[in-house]
Amino acid sequence: DAGVIQSPRHEVTEMGQEVTLRCKPISGHNSLFWYRQTMMRGLELLIYFNNNVPIDDSGMPEDRFSAKMPNASFSTLKIQPSEPRDSAVYFCASSLNRAGETQYFGPGTRLLVL
Amino acid sequence: QQQVKQSPQSLIVQKGGISIINCAYENTAFDYFPWYQQFPGKGPALLIAIRPDVSEKKEGRFTISFNKSAKQFSLHIMDSQPGDSATYFCAAATGANNLFFGTGTRLTVIP
């Protein structure tokens, strides 16, 4: 398996622009997680899905952030409008929805908002 | 509120030495405690995990010690090598729910 695939790997954009991050989970996994990592705040869970349904989005910082999972093999995280404080590495992870199952992380998208 | 507290923030160890990273939690419902290893430019990857029904788990040079009564668990890296230099995260979860991560420890092993 290719593992969790994220695109783009790097994104540089200007404040106010829309940013869309993409994730393809490992085939067969039914849980998907979006994380944000910064030096100041560490690794933060933004939202997670079970069977394509959002379960907990309490970590989404504000209404500028939205996430969708239209099918089992694709998810997007959108920021509109983007702000410089959104600059971070965004990780997608997937797992089987069973107790103790390992979360497999993608390589991340490094976002820089100027 | 940080569900899992991790220390130290950074650690420097000589090659061959023992690296020890500690974590503490409050939620007694947690029943799964993994450690993740992250190299620069990469996503975190599972290193080793433990459940509260055992007090210790060892995989090669990596050992988790778990103290249920104290609500603490730690990662020990024996015979630390320069290739172990990475950021380590402890985490905790209840059942199949999402993981709560510690703030990370940046380990540097010097030759």
For the stretch A51-72, pLDDT in tens is 999 998 988 988 999 999 999 9
User: What residues of chain A lie within 8 A of the CB of B88, using their CB?
Assistant: none
What pLDDT band is residue B33 in, cutting at 50, 70 and 90? very high
Beta-carbon separation of A100 and B99 below 8 A: no
Round the average pLDDT of chain A to a whole number and report it.
93
Q: Does B49 touch chain A (CB under 8 A)?
A: yes
User: What residues of chain B lie within 8 A of the CB of A91, using their CB?
Assistant: 43-44
Beta-carbon separation of A42 and B44 below 8 A: no
Tell me the residue type at B40.
Answer: P
The Cα–Cα gap between A35 and A21 comes to 12
The Cα–Cα gap between B91 and B25 comes to 9
What pLDDT band is residue A40 in, cutting at 50, 70 and 90? confident
pLDDT score at A42: 86
Beta-carbon separation of A107 and B42 below 8 A: yes
